[in-house]
Structure 1
């Protein structure tokens, strides 16, 4: 496969700031819901999620039997708007101090995950403040970036310096970088666990990457 990452590069993608290795993937079908956007943007976000889920060989569903929707996207202009969302404080413990901290940091995005007993992702909440650079991003690129970042529990700085996306010079289309697409596909291999805390898991991902066929990336 082209653009194959080295084991240490894969390990870095799932290493947290404290040096611990933490990997998790969805253990149940994904049911997305999007708040605060137009119907057109809603379709773009759900389309991006579906494209990445298909790449992973995972499944989507109309409803989650326990939660209704288990992947929630919130688009807004000011963090304080979250305090007005009904029952959100029940889903996000400590919402008020979190909003205060994110406002002080002038943060543009925040993701929160919930996990099943086996460590698999049970639910994810994506908060996007549409100001500045975030508001200027093309909807397709923004949606694909966010879909990628909730498909796995990535390390704190996995995409801090290099975006998971790339722009094709020949036509200007935005694609998911082949090496990241490969990691996602490998991570959902049925022979691998839904969660891992040992860095040796990165070696297993590397082995699966070598076995993947060379193919195009999600657009």
Structure 2
């Protein structure tokens, strides 16, 4: 089963002064048709004007993955040093037993980013923060794991991170990324009782007979295999989570 959500059908939530486009129910948006998908609690698209601040908290038992699309973004998680991200940089706020405040602030230009909220499968952990810069040299046209709660995805866990190893999630989930040249594709296979959500960040892709444009998503249930083909140069994110 594949559910498609077009870019112009995402709902809108107000978080302080910031307008957030949300795929599922979030903040003041609680429509019955916007229930979360499995262990994927939220998928939000956020744009900040220059030097604008987006603040959340308190939060607990959720991993918040922030992936920067454009501009620069500084993330400040309570109790940790501020981290500045360039385009395609990634920040993980693993809230664990509780985090009172998380702030994201844009740089001197407008910033756009996506946030993926994943329900933790491991309880009572201490809050943690991790970041990764863009790793364009590692892009080979296939899906690359950015964040994972599966130990086998990081066989060198504990070593100094120089190889683009994924950030470590408390959720048994994966967040993946692919840059696809026109006419080329990427494939991914998961296990049963999982849900896959494909987000097109840039370009046009096909998923079987379905055509998706920038900002569109496709959610796959009861399906373990996915192959996406770029109709123009495209950037996509893929989320693999357990069904509830």
Between Structure 1 and Structure 2, the one with more helix by share is 1
**Could you tell me the TM-score, scaled by structure 2's length?**
0.27
Considering Cα pairs closer than 8 Å and 6+ residues apart, tell me whether 1 or 2 has the greater RCO. 1
**Could you tell me the TM-score, scaled by structure 1's length?**
0.29
